[in-house]
Amino acid sequence: MSSSPLTADRLLAALRDEGLKVVEHRSWRTHNRNHKGLWGPMHGVMIHHTVTSGMQNTVDLCYNGHAALPGPLCHGVIAKDGTVYLVGNGRANHAGLGDSDVLQAVIAERALPADNQADTDGNRHFYGFECENLGDGRDPWPAAQLEAIEKAAAAVCRAHGWTQRSVIGHLEWQPGKVDPRGFTMDAMRARVAERLAAAKPTPKPPATFEPFPGASFFAAGRRSAVITAMGKRLVAEGCGRYAVGPGPDWSEADRKSYAAWQRKLGYSGSAADGVPGRTSWDRLKIPNT
């Protein structure tokens, strides 16, 4: 089946409504390759493995790409712990050229033929999820990660009214590809089908976040659970500069970590001095303590 692409808000809501933990990475909402070709109509969801290890390294690679293949390299990165990092919205360099007969089977939602040609632009028609795994057949697939793949695929299918037949692996699309390696797509489609047959999960109440306490709050001698929560979020964003911790006491490690967050947002010089400001604080989204 085919559909117009989901907006960034609809994709984010669909994933969260399915019960996933989702992190919005940098400027994912406007990060795409739309200047290189058409985006849509959408026909399915494609699953990949990354041949990388380490969450931050994997997310950065999928957002930025590399010299031979500019990013984004997918729409979402599924980490070992099941967190989904959104890195692109629009055309992404993930599917490449694949088999037109496979595409027709996906559109008709029937069993896939063997992929034996590469004559059709898959970047136009598929959402892509890159899953953190070395792809060597030995790197494990944790239960939390497999569940997140199931949920992410089901979320997109549910949003479009598709069945599990709209979910394929890269190895089923492009001759010579082996990903994802370590589980079968038939088994994953069975999981997606079971999830889609169940009632839609009840959405969690909207998350609430710590309001900005003011720059003067962050001073020597300050002790607060808010500082611990801030430190944990900085670590999750790959900005932690802690030898031990984080903890409740405002420290030089907190300042350095927050400065790394400010630089990640694009600030520099005195604007990246490690003292929180309202805009950077609100973008960090620290859960209420």
Q: What is the pLDDT of residues 85-96, one digit of tens each?
A: 999 999 999 999
What is the predicted pLDDT for the residue at 2? 61
Residues 178 and 232 in one domain: no
Mean pLDDT taken over the chain: 95
Three-state SS at 117: coil
The reply to whether 205 falls in a domain is no
What is the predicted pLDDT for the residue at 207? 77
Residues 193 and 254 in one domain: no
Residues 221 and 257 in one domain: yes
The reply to whether 210 falls in a domain is no
What is the predicted pLDDT for the residue at 206? 72
Residues 159 and 226 in one domain: no
Residues 79 and 130 in one domain: yes
What is the predicted pLDDT for the residue at 196? 97
Residues 121 and 14 in one domain: yes
Residues 148 and 245 in one domain: no
Query: What domain range is 233 assigned to?
Result: 215-284
Residues 28 and 62 in one domain: yes
The reply to whether 152 falls in a domain is yes
Predicted confidence (pLDDT) per residue in 30-72, tens digit: 999 999 999 999 999 999 999 999 999 999 999 999 999 999 9
If you write DSSP's letter for every residue of the chain in order, what string do you get? Answer: --BPPPPHHHHHHHHHHTT--EEE-TTGGG---GGGS----B-EEEEEE-S--SHHHHHHHHHHEETTEESP--SEEE-TTS-EEE--SS--TTS-EE-HHHHHHHHHT-PPPP-----EESTTTEEEEEE----SS-S---HHHHHHHHHHHHHHHHHHT--GGGEEEGGGTSTT---S-SS-HHHHHHHHHHHHHSPPPPPPPPP-BPPP--GGGSSTT-B-HHHHHHHHHHHHTT----SS---SB--HHHHHHHHHHHHHTT--GGGGSS---HHHHHHH-PBP-
Rounded-to-10 torsion of CA 133, 138, 143, 147: 50
Its pTM surpasses 0.75: no
Residues in the chain predicted with pLDDT less than 70, given as ranges, are 1-2, 203-204
Residues 113 and 172 in one domain: yes
The reply to whether 233 falls in a domain is yes
Residues 40 and 71 in one domain: yes
Residues 181 and 267 in one domain: no
Domain boundary among 197, 232, 256: 197
The reply to whether 202 falls in a domain is no
Residues 25 and 133 in one domain: yes
The reply to whether 25 falls in a domain is yes
The reply to whether 153 falls in a domain is yes
Domain boundary among 197, 225, 256: 197
The reply to whether 64 falls in a domain is yes
What is the predicted pLDDT for the residue at 199? 75
Predicted confidence (pLDDT) per residue in 116-129, tens digit: 999 999 999 999 99
| Number of domains, the chain | 2
Domain boundary among 163, 197, 231: 197
CATH number at 27 reads 3.40.80.10
